[in-house]
Structure 1
Amino acid sequence: MRVGGVVTTLAALAASAQAQRLSKQCFSNVCYQLNIPAETASSGSGDIFFQISGPTSYSWIGLGQGSQMAGSNIFVIYADGQGNVTLSPRHGVGHFEPEHDRSANVTLLEGSGVSNGRMVANVLCTNCGQWQGGSTDFTASSGDWIRASLSGSALNSASATEKISQHSDYGSFSWDYSSAQGGSSSNPFVARQGTSGSTGVAPVSPAPTSSSGNSNSGGDSASSSTSAASKSDMIITAHGALAAITFLVLFPLGAALVRIPGVSVWAHAGVQILAYCCFIAAAGLGIWFAQSDNSLTEAHPTIGMVLLGVLFFQPLGGMLHHRAYKVEQSRTAVSYLHVWLGRLAVLLGIINGGLGIQLAGNVSRGYKIAYSVVAGVVGALFLGIIVYGEIQAKRRLVTGRRGDGKEEGESIMMNAT
């Protein structure tokens, strides 16, 4: 009987070990655990379990599915002030505070709470395979995740929509799904906590070997983080305003000036120089923010950097083009390159403004409509200027009329016409 009892116990423990297969990722003193039940691992979708834990010296701790904030499926925990934790599912909207996601099917399980100076959230998620902005396949060998946290005083809120300040620590990592797949427990974290180290429970996987992010000292306060968030908002606002003025006002204005009789070509050149200076400032702010937010590879900043490089050479191209036109009295290869690069740069800049609004995410509907309308009108007028300029150029070519360079729409600086 004793032998039979031992065998039965060992069999039960073996089954428990399978049910409690967890993959653990720790970053400093903040840890995350994941379990993908066998059924989910087989079908690619279904329930998953994850745990978020960290010291109560953190204002909040977050875990998200995805490679970046924009479009990610985020879960934030913070103390509720009553000895428990609040779980707040959120949707990443770019460079702003994630929005509360009411469509997330998540449940706080037994074992969650605040104890011994640590916050712990054991979570069941039934729709983490697909969310607004993305999806994942749990049959895959790994998946992209992001993490973030804020050191500071406790939020002490039971509201899932509580406002949170900008993180003091963040990063991204690839989670090895193969080490988390298996079992059918209804709460693998409690099951594991109820066993001792000698029971044969499967070992927790080590921390990830590939991760990226930014860590600040643990002494950051909530007030300093709020200040940092305000600074980021101001930088993004300044970047957007300067870029919009550049491509919706200054460059098109410079293109129009060269077509107005009696207006000096130097007026055109001066406006284009001012436009480029504004764009340098806008690009500098944008690049700084994109680096701090790990979003340099997004379409908006990538196009912006390409435009910065193209426009850098436009003044030189304008001088060469102007000199050649003075001699040849017609466009040369340099002229066509300079003129058409300028035109395309302005149009691409207008389009890229829309991509920037999309990347920012948390932009009011009114602002989106306003930009769309203004961009559409300016873009149409700019195309009209281009067509008018080409018609005038062909007429002069047919009549054999000679000009001083300005008549052809040529200038010493970037000519967008």
Structure 2
Amino acid sequence: MMARISFFTIAALYAFIYTVLASSVPVQYCPIAEVCYQVAVPEVSAARDGGNIYLQLRAPISYSWVAFGTGDAMKDSSIFVMYQDGNGNVTVSARTGTGHSMPRYNSIVQLELLDGSGLLNNEQTMVANVRCGNCGTWPGGFMSLDDNAAPWIAAWKVGDAINSADPDAQIRYHDAHDEWTFDLTVATVTDDANPFVGVRQFDNNNRGVDRGSFADPRMLILCHGIIMTVVMIVLYPLGSALMPLFGKWVIHAVWQLFAFIIMWGGFGLGIVALQRIQLDFNSTHTILGTVVVGLLGFQPILGWFHHKHFMRHQHRGLVSHAHIWYGRALIITGIVNGGLGLKLAGASRAFVVVYTVFAILISVIYIGTILFGEWRRRRTGGYEQKNS
């Protein structure tokens, strides 16, 4: 029963976090540092699978042009190109891909340059906030606005500014390109209006240029890091230490269940942030973290069986040792993974040092309570109380 309640509590918490946060801001992908693309789909457009969508292109002025488009190849792609117009603003050109040649201007596409566009950050960054009225279809292609894996492509060229307001201006062959998918079901925004004004802009290195909100992936990553740090180097070790210190299983169980639920909340924030910045999931931190959190899902069940065994036999059994050492191993792995997370997030050296010192201190205290508990158990013949 306890395991069932815990499962539904965690599922409800994760669903709430995902629904509230994952549906509140545009999705973004940054193929290289400071070159980023965003897409937002208003609820009304998603509901009828057509209508306005909102796009943002952002890049340093050291780029001659940057572009991204729908589809998984340049041929028959609907492409959006941004370059400087020579008058302190940017030009956004809708073009149709024809293969390995310069895409040509497509006047059918309904584009509108919105507020917040131009040369920002002391005229060092090109930004184009764009409303497109008919980007769901184009000659040779179609995009469902509720696609959870919509293919997109991008390309960019470093060099001198084009300085043209002509949407059919000549652009030189790209330096590099990339492709990815967007989950448009989490790109839904409430209002059919410019979603980019007043929102913190960021790249995959989490460098922001404006103020933002809690739904900003940088803030999500920070909250994820804080929550998981508290869980792994404070709550879990302290909860584990409560048994040898007080010998009351109820206190231990309630404390660890609380930490367990908070852990899943922190994990949910990490998943939402991961989707927002389109970070490669195949990093050591993300894989190891997912494994640790998943394996910890079995720990309350092992704890329940350990308690039932002890109450019946008044001594530890195989399930008891499995619960104890399984938990200790995962706590240690979680602490190590926290350090890997700091590295992935590009945390400062000072922050890493503070985390390391604190983790070592907590580990020493934790090991001390384990030794104390073993000494007490051997002296008293057991410390778990039936009526606790």
TM-score, length of structure 1 as denominator length = 0.48
Instruction: Give structure 2 stretches of 5+ with no counterpart.
Output: 1-27, 38-58, 64-82, 93-112, 132-149, 163-169, 201-209
Pick aligned residue for 1:223 from 198, 204, 213? 198
Is the 2:61–2:124 Cα contact (8 Å) retained in structure 1? no
Residue 117 (structure 2) pairs with residue 154 (structure 1): yes
Is the 1:75–1:87 Cα contact (8 Å) retained in structure 2? no
Residue 361 (structure 2) pairs with residue 377 (structure 1): yes
Is the 2:233–2:362 Cα contact (8 Å) retained in structure 1? yes
Query: Within 2, Cα distance between the matches of 1:386 and 1:163?
Result: 57
Q: Report 1:2-401 matches (<5 A).
A: 72-74=32-34, 87-88=61-62, 114=86, 118-119=90-91, 152-157=115-120, 159=122, 210-213=179-182, 219-224=194-199, 231-232=215-216, 233-261=218-246, 263-295=247-279, 296-361=281-346, 363-389=347-373, 395=378
Once the two structures are superposed, what CA deviation does each residue of 1:235-262 show, in whole Å capped at 9, x if it has no partner?
223222221221121111112211125x
CA RMSD of aligned residues (A): 5.2
2:86 is matched by which residue type in structure 1?
V
Query: Within 2, Cα distance between the matches of 1:385 and 1:166?
Result: 57
Is the 1:314–1:338 Cα contact (8 Å) retained in structure 2? yes
Query: Within 1, Cα distance between the matches of 2:327 and 2:264?
Result: 16
Q: CA deviation at 1:159?
A: 4.3
1:277 is matched by which residue type in structure 2?
I
2:322 is matched by which residue type in structure 1?
L
Q: CA deviation at 1:318?
A: 0.8
Once the two structures are superposed, what CA deviation does each residue of 1:1-26 show, in whole Å capped at 9, x if it has no partner?
xxxxxxxxxxxxxxxxxxxxxxxxxx
Q: Secondary structure at the match of 2:61?
A: strand
Is the 1:251–1:275 Cα contact (8 Å) retained in structure 2? yes
Query: Within 1, Cα distance between the matches of 2:130 and 2:348?
Result: 23
Query: Within 2, Cα distance between the matches of 1:166 and 1:379?
Result: 49
Paired residue for 2:48?
none
Q: Secondary structure at the match of 2:86?
A: strand
1:270 is matched by which residue type in structure 2?
V
The 1:403–1:392 alpha-carbon spacing in structure 2 relative to 1, beyond 3 Å, is closer
Once the two structures are superposed, what CA deviation does each residue of 1:290-336 show, in whole Å capped at 9, x if it has no partner?
12222333322322222222222211111111222334444333222
Q: Secondary structure at the match of 1:212?
A: strand
1:318 is matched by which residue type in structure 2?
G
2:258 is matched by which residue type in structure 1?
L
Is the 1:153–1:221 Cα contact (8 Å) retained in structure 2? yes
Is the 1:173–1:210 Cα contact (8 Å) retained in structure 2? yes
Q: Percent identity?
A: 26
The 1:167–1:402 alpha-carbon spacing in structure 2 relative to 1, beyond 3 Å, is farther
Query: Within 2, Cα distance between the matches of 1:112 and 1:326?
Result: 75
Is the 1:290–1:301 Cα contact (8 Å) retained in structure 2? no
Query: Within 2, Cα distance between the matches of 1:264 and 1:163?
Result: 61
Q: CA deviation at 1:347?
A: 1.0
